Amino acid sequence: MAEGEKLEKTGRCLCGAVTVTATAVDPHVHACHCAMCRRWNGGPAMASNCGTTVEIAGAENVTAYRSSAWAERAFCKTCGTNLFYRVVESDELIVNVGIFDDQSGLELAGEIFVDEQPGWYGFAGERNRMTGAEVFAMFAPKEDEA
Ligand SMILES: [Zn+2]
Ligand SMILES: [Zn+2]
């Protein structure tokens, strides 16, 4: 796949009250093992940066929880499906790829917060793995929480 190539995906929550159309899906999925993502999802987050152009139908059914100074986590208020992580300053949506109807073209490209990963599970294969400190150094956020 060419560098910088984006995918188009549609997706929805379990009950269908919320549907999304994303035209700039980064095919490089990242898994986040941090304690907040694990608590949020019941396991690591598997998400992709979809930029600022995601169209959301049924947005009145979306509840957003402000989980840190710089981000909120959104879910369907009816069925509880976790939808996306929104970076407040940039308005970028990091969408949980599990909600996409078509899973083709995606690739698990990296794992982050590997220092918070419990020892009882792991993904097979080799890829870029970063600790929380390495992630923060890359994005230089204001605080030390994910
Ligand atoms: Zn729903
Ligand atoms: Zn996380």
**Each residue's pLDDT tens digit, 21-56:** 999 999 999 999 999 999 999 999 999 999 999 999
Q: What is the Å distance from ligand 2's center to 36 Cα?
A: 6
Nearest ligand (C-alpha, residue 75): 1
**How many CB atoms are closer than 10 A to CB 32?**
26
Query: What phi-psi label fits residue 27: left (phi over 0), alpha (psi between -120 and 50 degrees) or beta?
Result: alpha
Q: What is the Å distance from ligand 1's center to 111 Cα?
A: 27
pTM value surpassing 0.85: yes
Give the pLDDT of residue 143: 57
